[in-house]
Amino acid sequence: MTLWLRPLSRIRVPFLASAGRLHFPLGARHDLSGESGLRPYPPSRALSSVNVKWLWPVDREALSFHLIHNLGSRMGLFHLTLNAKNPLKTEDVEEALFHLQRKNPTMRVDLRLRENTWWFCDQEEKKVDFKMLSEDTNSMEDFHRLCEQGFPDGNTWVFRMIPRQKDAPCAMPEVKEDFPYQYDLHMTGHHGLSDGLSVSLLVKRMVELLNDVILGRHISDELTSRFLPREELWEIESRITKKLEEDPRRHDYVRETIPDSTPLLLQAFPRPSVDRVTSRILSRTVDLEATQNFQKLCKAHGVTINSAFTAAINTAIVRLVQRSGISQQSYRIASNHLVSALRYLKQTPPDIMGGYALFLSHVSRMNHTSNFWEYSKEVHRELKGALQSELPLEQKMACVMAQPNLAEDWARNPPKVVHDYGITNIAHFPMPERRADDQVLVTNVSSTAMVHKYIHMVLFLVYTFRGRSNYAISYATDYIADETARMLADEVMSVYREVSDLKSI
């Protein structure tokens, strides 16, 4: 993840991203230029400005995602199963998406070139990219097709709906009789404009609006979110950069918290040889009783569900490594946690929408004889302390200080993987409030991501839906073999169920 080069002087002036010379500031306040070997993508969009409202220059994070998205990676998708009382009309879905876009301005935003500089712009008359596909469409093939194309045509939000066959199983069989028509809905958005939480809220609102449209309800003009420059975050980054420059000991400590060695999982399960690099997905759902017990135990032991789930993943990795023949007194597991920068912002309004993801590198030492809940408390203390000390921001800025053209470099040549896994947890998936006259219900949800050619070889996507804990594993096929991924998914489930015994309180 890191290339530790000489530290750079503090930056203060606004950041611009030009097509020929990409600039990456330490605190988003100056131009750091470096020659780019990347062709402006795509050039046709730089020439069209009809019905476009220019907003402000693109920042480092958004451009980073843009470059990587257009290599077919780091795309995140939500997959929903909708059950309807009657067949859904394409025009009703399109009208619901029209209102969703009208009430959430971010859904009109694109990234375009303006006089050789990347800008955010508002496509004032742009329709949401939606298609109702045929019943025989393969969902997984459609998912990969969406991811591999990136966002080449200014469609930074994409929705696809696929009718399911009449005999398809229903995740909530008790509603199948009243809501017999099933549809798969795939939805993705540009990570420079949104993160997992904001997208999940959009999905919730979309279903609410679809019910309103079908029932002919009045839909207000009130906005439900806003898209604004990340000025407060840039100011914090500038402060963090100054602190690291003026405190070499803290700077060295932050650098030491970021791993730079071969992950434990790769020591036990070497990288496979593949002809085509892509991402694959496995998913698991924990039963209701085990989920409830796990939550009660977390509360009883004073740890968050995320900390305990992290401990469960670490325990599963250690068990797999031991079975492979690696025996040690203790094991070092490196994880990468996706957290929201919104936790550090005080002036930014709560209805803001955008990409505010941060990474927190965490290295844990686990004794092979550790008690699970005692180990969970240790993980909880470490993660809580890191978040309270602003360590995710410090790690981010230390990386940028060492490698100012980080986004461009990663797009050209992905960094080596140094974490055993990444984890993102959106907690309870937000659901529309059930109403007596609902015409559409969400009966199942899953979350996936493309992780190849990026910093993860394995990414856990964790959420709770209708009271059950769910997790998906997205893995890069050039790092993790299918069988290794399956063993990991199953072992995490085994640990989760094993420790969800209320007798251990």
Q: Is 84 left (phi over 0), alpha (psi -120 to 50) or beta?
A: beta
Residues with Cβ < 8 Å from 194, sequence gap 6 or more?
A: 106, 202, 353, 354, 355
Residue 152: helix, strand or coil by DSSP?
Answer: coil
* Other beta carbons within 10 Å of 291: 19
- Report the distance separating Cα 296 and Cα 303, nearest Å: 10
User: Running DSSP on this structure, what letter comes out for residue 106?
Assistant: G
Length of the chain: 505
What is the reported pLDDT for 194?
A: 86
What is the reported pLDDT for 60?
A: 82
- The owner of tokens 């401990």 is 311
**Cα 481 to chain centroid, rounded:** 22
Nearest CA to 242 among 398, 452, 369, 347?
A: 398
- Report the distance separating Cα 165 and Cα 405, nearest Å: 49
- Report the distance separating Cα 279 and Cα 450, nearest Å: 5
- Report the distance separating Cα 405 and Cα 387, nearest Å: 26
* Other beta carbons within 10 Å of 6: 6
Helices (H) and strands (E) in the chain, counts: 14, 17
Bridge partners, residue 201, by sequence: none
Q: Is the dihedral of CA 151, 79, 303, 333 positive or negative?
A: negative
Helix axes 248-256, 231-246, angle to 10 degrees: 110
Residue 253 buriedness (CB in 10 A; 0-12 / 13-18 / 19+): middle
What is the reported pLDDT for 162?
A: 94
Nearest CA to 439 among 30, 88, 72, 58?
A: 88
Residue 213 buriedness (CB in 10 A; 0-12 / 13-18 / 19+): buried
What is the reported pLDDT for 434?
A: 86
User: In the chain, which residues have pLDDT < 50?
Assistant: 1-47
Nearest CA to 111 among 73, 68, 161, 76?
A: 68
What is the reported pLDDT for 9?
A: 33
- Phi and psi, residue 152, nearest 5°: -80, -20
Contact 440, 84 (CB under 8 A): yes
Domains located in the chain, CATH noted:
231-431+440-504 (3.30.559.30)
